[in-house]
């Protein structure tokens, strides 16, 4: 299995250079889907969610050079959460003042008004999207470094939820071989997720 091309902490340092387009592409690829899913989970329409995500990235670009770490206050992911949370608050505050205000707008505004470090639905959704992002990255890397049949056996049984017998018939493998392949890929995924978490270090 190949090593991660860059640790999250290294990526953060590179983002301080606005001309490091490769680093920014990596950042947008890794965090764009996570941010979009999180914002959409608050009940926003596609266009509004996309606007907020774009605004969050713009604000990250403006402030990243001034970001100083304080482990007591959390790392980059906590900082990114604060920026996103503030943009959502501004959005729902405007919605509340408009004629189209809904019960969801009011509920979201109340949730966003809670202390930033309070464990609530908002914080739990943020962590869930982060885990999904890690899992997606891990799956991509493991797939790239797995035998096609081994990966297919895992995909059919673990992802598609089909039986080992179906996978065995489709791939011309024994049922036992399917179980072995699924087990091996699952172990690799766990190891890759753990590696990604270690790579984050103080970045989180």
- Tokens representing residue 169 in the block: 């018939």
Task: List pLDDT tens digits, range 137-189.
Answer: 899 999 999 999 999 999 999 999 999 999 999 999 999 999 999 999 999 99
Checking 89-93 for CB contacts under 8 A at 24+ apart, the result is 89/113, 91/44, 91/48, 91/52, 92/42
Per-residue confidence (pLDDT) for residue 78, from 0 to 100: 81
Task: List pLDDT tens digits, range 71-125.
Answer: 445 577 888 888 998 899 888 888 777 756 666 667 777 777 765 555 678 888 8
pTM of the predicted structure, to 2 decimals: 0.71
Range of lowest pLDDT (27-31, 65-69, 139-143, 185-189): 65-69
- Tokens representing residue 149 in the block: 């049949």
User: What's the whole-number mean pLDDT along residues 179-202?
Assistant: 86
Residue 69: alpha-carbon gap to chain centroid? 21
Per-residue confidence (pLDDT) for residue 173, from 0 to 100: 96
């Amino acid at each position: 299995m190949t090593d991660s091309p860059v640790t999250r902490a290294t990526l953060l340092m590179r983002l301080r250079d606005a001309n490091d387009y490769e680093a920014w592409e990596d950042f947008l690829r890794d965090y764009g889907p996570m941010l979009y899913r999180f914002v959409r989970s608050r009940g926003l329409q596609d266009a509004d969610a996309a606007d907020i995500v774009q605004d969050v990235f713009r604000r990250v670009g403006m402030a990243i050079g001034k970001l100083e770490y304080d482990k007591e206050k959390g790392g980059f992911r906590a900082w990114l959460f604060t920026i996103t949370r503030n943009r959502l608050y501004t959005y729902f505050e405007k919605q509340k003042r408009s004629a189209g205000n809904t019960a969801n707008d009011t509920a979201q505004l109340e949730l966003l008004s809670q202390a930033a470090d309070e464990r609530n639905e908002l914080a739990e959704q943020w962590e869930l999207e982060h885990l999904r992002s890690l899992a997606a990255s891990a799956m991509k890397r493991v797939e790239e470094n797995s035998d096609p049949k081994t990966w297919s056996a895992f995909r059919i049984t673990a992802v598609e939820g089909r039986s080992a017998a179906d996978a065995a018939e489709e791939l011309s493998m024994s049922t036992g071989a399917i179980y072995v392949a699924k087990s091996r890929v699952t172990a690799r995924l766990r190891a890759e997720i753990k590696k990604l978490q270690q790579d984050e270090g103080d970045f989180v």
